[in-house]
């Protein structure tokens, strides 16, 4: 009977809050303003940036440090604590408008995150647009190669998972440039290695990566053969697809 590998669960805010942020120029401005909430105009800060720029990670860390409570829309009253709104550009406008008013009346801080700066949101409520324009908006740049390399190495070290440097570099060149998916990649490498009872070889890494991102499934190319010992997982040529099939589902 084939062994079943448990799929990693989605990363919760508590997991992100426990993981140190990799400090890089791309997030320097955001880190600066997160550290001085008393200087936020109107008590509000909007972090904006594309996918995989670390917005949710920063919100989770800030929430843990300041007792922030996530708010996801609806007619619930503003909590009696700092308020954190992820994907703020997707929540109901009227609900967000009332939230900002209630937080201002209560003197509570509001930390928001979005893909675009508020000036680019399509806002129908003029009063909401006015309040958001009065908020400080700080952009986060795309993750640098050095940030992804540092993060991936840390994730592997935390799992005590040994991956040859050349193989790690190969994985990074082909993996999605998304810190969340790098966490999942490290978890799946760990699960596969344990379940199959083998070290992380070239073929195992390729199979895990193909399972994680099937639309961009890599082929094992000649580049893999440069810096590695012979790998018993290869059928013949170095550019042959991985023979390993992982029973993830």
pLDDT at 158: 86
Within 10 angstroms of residue 189's Cβ, the number of other Cβ atoms is 23
pLDDT of 16 reads 63
Residue in this structure with the two tokens 């589902």, named with its chain if needed? 249
If one counts every other C-beta atom within 10 angstroms of the C-beta of residue 19, the result is 17
Pick the CATH number of 145-225 from 1.10.10, 1.10.3470, 1.10.8, 3.30.310: 1.10.8
3-state SS, one letter per residue, for 131-182: HHHCCEEEECCCCCHHHHHHHHHHHHHHCCCCCCHHHHHHHHHHCCCCHHHH
Look up tokens 């893999």; give the residue: 224
Question: Does pTM top 0.85 for this prediction?
Answer: no
- In the block, residue with structure tokens 């996530």: 70
Phi/psi at 106 (5° precision): -85, -5
- Contact present, 99 and 43 (Cβ < 8 Å): no
Contact 17, 61 (CB under 8 A): yes
CA distances 72 to 99, 135, 158, 237, Å, are 11, 19, 31, 52
- Name the maximum alpha-carbon separation found in the chain: 70
| pLDDT single digits (tens) 49-62 | 988 788 988 999 99
From residue 110, alpha-carbon distances to 52, 134, 152, 216 in Å are: 22, 13, 31, 39
- Residue 180 has a pLDDT of 77
Give the model's pLDDT for residue 110.
Answer: 97
Using DSSP, state whether 200 is helix, strand or coil: coil
pLDDT of residue 15: 62
Domain extents for the chain? 25-139, 145-225
Hey, do 25-139 and 145-225 end up sharing a CATH topology, with the first three levels equal? Answer: no
pLDDT at 200 over 90: yes
pLDDT band of residue 233 (cuts 50, 70, 90) is very low
Could you please state the CATH topology (level 3) that the domain comprising 25-139 is classified under.
Rossmann fold (3.40.50)
Average pLDDT over residues 153-167: 91
Q: Is the predicted pLDDT of residue 115 greater than 80, yes or no?
A: yes
Distance CA 153, CA 94 (A): 43
| CB count in 10 Å sphere of residue 230 | 7
Q: Give burial (CB, 10 Å; 0-12/13-18/19+) of 162.
A: exposed
Other CB atoms within a 10 A radius of the CB of residue 12 amount to: 9
In the prediction, which pLDDT does 122 show?
Answer: 93
Distance, in Å, from the CA atom of 223 to the CA atom of 238, rounded to the nearest integer, reads 8
């Amino acid at each position: 009977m084939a062994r079943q590998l448990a799929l990693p669960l989605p990363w919760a805010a508590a997991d992100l809050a426990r993981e140190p942020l990799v400090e890089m120029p791309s997030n320097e401005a955001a880190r600066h303003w997160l550290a001085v909430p008393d200087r936020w105009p109107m008590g509000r800060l909007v972090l904006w940036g594309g996918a995989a720029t670390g917005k949710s990670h920063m919100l989770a860390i800030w929430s843990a440090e300041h007792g922030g409570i996530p708010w996801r829309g609806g007619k619930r009253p503003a909590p009696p604590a700092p308020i954190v709104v992820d994907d703020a550009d997707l929540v109901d406008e009227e609900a967000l408008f009332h939230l900002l008013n209630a937080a201002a009346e209560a003197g509570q801080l509001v930390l928001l995150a979005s893909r675009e700066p508020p000036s680019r949101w399509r806002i129908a409520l003029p009063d909401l647009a006015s309040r958001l324009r009065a908020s400080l908006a700080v952009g986060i740049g795309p993750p640098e190669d050095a940030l992804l390399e540092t993060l991936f190495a840390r994730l592997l070290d935390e799992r005590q998972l040994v991956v040859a440097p050349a193989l790690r570099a190969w994985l990074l060149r082909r993996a999605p440039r998304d810190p969340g998916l790098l966490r999942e990649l490290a978890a799946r490498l760990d699960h596969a290695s344990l379940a199959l009872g083998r070290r992380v070889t070239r073929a195992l890494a390729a199979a895990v990566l193909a399972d994680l991102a099937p639309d961009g499934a890599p082929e094992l190319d000649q580049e893999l053969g440069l810096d590695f010992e012979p790998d018993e997982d290869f059928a013949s040529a170095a550019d042959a697809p991985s023979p390993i099939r992982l029973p993830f589902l």
